[in-house]
Amino acid sequence: MEERFRDERLSDEERVEDLVGRMTLEEKASQLKHNAPAVKRLGIPYYNWWNEALHGVARAGAATVFPQPIGLAASFDDEFLEEIGGVIATEGRAKYNEQVRKGDRGLYKGLTFWSPNINLFRDPRWGRGHETYGEDPYLTSRMGVAFIKGLQGKGKRLKSAACVKHFAAHSGPEKGRHSFDSIVSKKDLAESYFPAFEACVREAKVEGVMGGYNCINGEPACGSYHLIQEILRDKWGFEGYYVSDCGAIKDFHKNHMITKDEEESAALALKSGCDLNCGAVYLYVLSAYERGLLSEEDIDKAVKHVMTTRMRLGMFDAETEYDSIPYEENDTPKHHMSALKAAEESMVLLKNDGILPLKKEKLKAVAVIGPNGDSREILKGNYNGTSTEHYTILDGIRREVGDSVRVYYSEGCHLYRENVEALAEADDRISEAVSMAQRSDVVFLCLGLDARLEGEEGDANNSYAGADKIDLEFPDSQKRLMEAVCNTGKPVVFLISTGSAMNLSYAKEHGSAILQTWYPGQMGGIAAANLLFGKAVPSGKLPVTFYHSAKELPDFEDYSMKNRTYRYMESRAQYPFGYGLSYGTFEYSRLKAETGTWDKKDRIKVTVQVTNTSSYDCDEIAQIYIKLTGSELAVPNASLTQFKRVSLKAGETKELCFEVKTSCFQVVDQEGNRQWEETDTVLYAGGSQPDEVSVSLTGKKPVEIRIKAEDRFAG
């Protein structure tokens, strides 16, 4: 019989229908595991679905390592992030093509990337928060959509298949995540947790969605018919495959105690719409069928979804446009330069008393001090590939100053260790660090964490709370070091490498400058040096709020948005979302918005003029915020609703045009429905959000216009 599933003249739907129709029940059930065996009689090879590409092709050898997503979010550069996604897909295809030729189809070798992580970074204690694009649903949606479009490409076939995770409300705690139940109101789901997922499904047509380990309002995320079928597929139109997080379906009976055994768990997940199991529970699909818990139609539905994804990747075509990408396209110098640009754009200048940019011709000696000064770990983040070229902060500064400036280096202290032997050793290294600081014109104090201290459950090798942070404080070893170095009286530039917010009060009071580097990828050291010495101008903005302490935060396990993130917080931030300094200065003027019949339009136009009033050619991130007044249902503070990275030459003025979705001007009721109310609107435009702290730190107040309710709806 003719194998119609090989006929490229037919639609994918027709080909998949033919393919699945040729498979036995046993063969179909076998394809629902992440390590799907070959079906030799049909010429279907073994395929392992599990691959990662959070900020570069991960866990599969040599690849370009870009900044961790929290840093990419700080760039507010969604256009460039789409390019980065394209680079990662190219490297993924180059590696896949070579590996297939070698018969290597193992773990981390496929084209289904379980990235990006678009969970809302609602609490800075969450260890995996640096995998995300921050705390704002709009910024997260824009970055997620861009990255997915880059990964999946614009060709006839998918260049690679992206997968958003972890649907839908998942952001810690890591410890106990296998039994945790996230209690979330319908309003908070619709207003904060859902928007990025909806955008990635509707706009980017993301191919995969991964469910979390947790329950959401009593239902397991990988076994909720309401979430998977009614919301994701029926309401948003998702047409791809749904996969469990690894081991999540086992939690149904082991930890959530919702089912009694493997067969019941497999049946609940499959009938709810979870097509693919990362784990072993779907080994029991056939026995669940034999017990009458599943029908063949249930199995067929899932198999068609997973086989459609493989079809869209061109795995049953004679040849695709991507099959000719050679291995030489992996880990190239050009891609490394993209990683450098991304790192430069990602770093955020939080304080500068005028010391930066430094002029090396005025320096005789500098000191690079701290446990992250020569750390390769901070370059990696987590879910990382293996860089073949990498530069620590010490490397970057040495390269920049050359032989003309003496560079002293001391680790200063251990990153976190506090046992008796380490304390004695730390005192010795602190003494060394002080000696070097005293001999230097400027000290670069490199502090923070790395992905061994904040990350996924089980990854941490420390006293932290299962890879979550217990608070926002630096380890005591680093506190002693910063005090000793600052007490020398030398100018200190703090370089903070973390994936999340920390209490920077000491650095803010005693430092001459603070540069937040995040986990900056393989070129991070050169990027930092370029910014410190003026080869590049800082332009990054914070994608998360920096708080004074964890005491300001609600309980970590509380998923209500009350007093969380900049949109709902009731206290003053230490450093606010959207904030970041530049060597340039900018003026905003002539803010305008079209009025009338907003309820009849999908978008309205907002324009503003931005002028570079400095002597630097540099980038500015123009941000548009709105605040609705007069409704108890409105978000209490201003909300980001558009942004644009713009390059301006010294003295140049540009008029920027933004298209703002009118849904931004609606409120969300307690049932999670968006609706129009007779609210007045305040529209802001500036280089930061319109809060008191941002105005105080920047000395600039965003321009604003006020629009009455009657002007929004007038004919």
- Our measurement of the distance from residue 585's CA atom to the centroid of its chain's CA atoms, rounded to an integer in Å, reads 28
> For 659, left (φ over 0), alpha (ψ -120 to 50), or beta?
beta
- Locate 393 and state its tokens: 């902060």
DSSP summary character for residue 243: E
Residue 139 has phi, psi (to 5 degrees) of: -60, -45
SS3 482: helix
Of 478, 394, 471, nearest to 430 (Cα)? 478
Task: Give residue for tokens 């079906």.
Answer: 39
- Locate 627 and state its tokens: 């605040």
In 320-440, where do the E strands start and end? 348-352, 365-369, 406-410
Task: Give residue for tokens 């800082």.
Answer: 538
Cβ-proximal residues to 82 (8 Å cutoff; 6+ apart), any chain: 146, 147, 149, 150
Residue 115 to residue 209: CA distance in whole angstroms? 9
Q: Which residues pair with 210 in a beta bridge?
A: 243
Q: Are 347 and 520 in contact (CB under 8 A)?
A: yes
For this structure, is 454 an active site residue?
Answer: yes
- Locate 412 and state its tokens: 């200063």
Neighbours of 372 (CB within 10 A): 28
Residue 479 to residue 207: CA distance in whole angstroms? 46
Residue count (the chain): 715
Q: Are 306 and 285 in contact (CB under 8 A)?
A: no
Q: Which of 198, 245, 450, 457 is catalytic?
A: 245
Strands 618-629 and 680-686: antiparallel
Q: Which residues pair with 625 in a beta bridge?
A: 640, 684
Q: Which of 77, 275, 298, 454 is catalytic?
A: 454
Residue 119 has phi, psi (to 5 degrees) of: -65, 150
Q: Are 648 and 610 in contact (CB under 8 A)?
A: yes
The 365-369 sheet, strands edge to edge? 348-352, 513-516, 492-497, 442-448, 365-369, 406-410
| Dihedral sign of CA atoms 151, 155, 157, 159 in order | negative
First to last CA, the chain: 64
SS3 392: coil
Residue 405 to residue 363: CA distance in whole angstroms? 6
Asked if the bond preceding 137 is cis, omega within 30° of 0, the reply is: no
Q: Are 660 and 595 in contact (CB under 8 A)?
A: no
The 241-244 sheet, strands edge to edge? 163-167, 208-211, 241-244
| Dihedral sign of CA atoms 33, 34, 37, 43 in order | positive
- CA 538, 543, 549, 553: dihedral to nearest 10 degrees? 170
Q: Are 122 and 87 in contact (CB under 8 A)?
A: no
- Our measurement of the distance from residue 28's CA atom to the centroid of its chain's CA atoms, rounded to an integer in Å, reads 35
Residue 132 to residue 122: CA distance in whole angstroms? 10
**Active site positions, annotated:** 245, 454
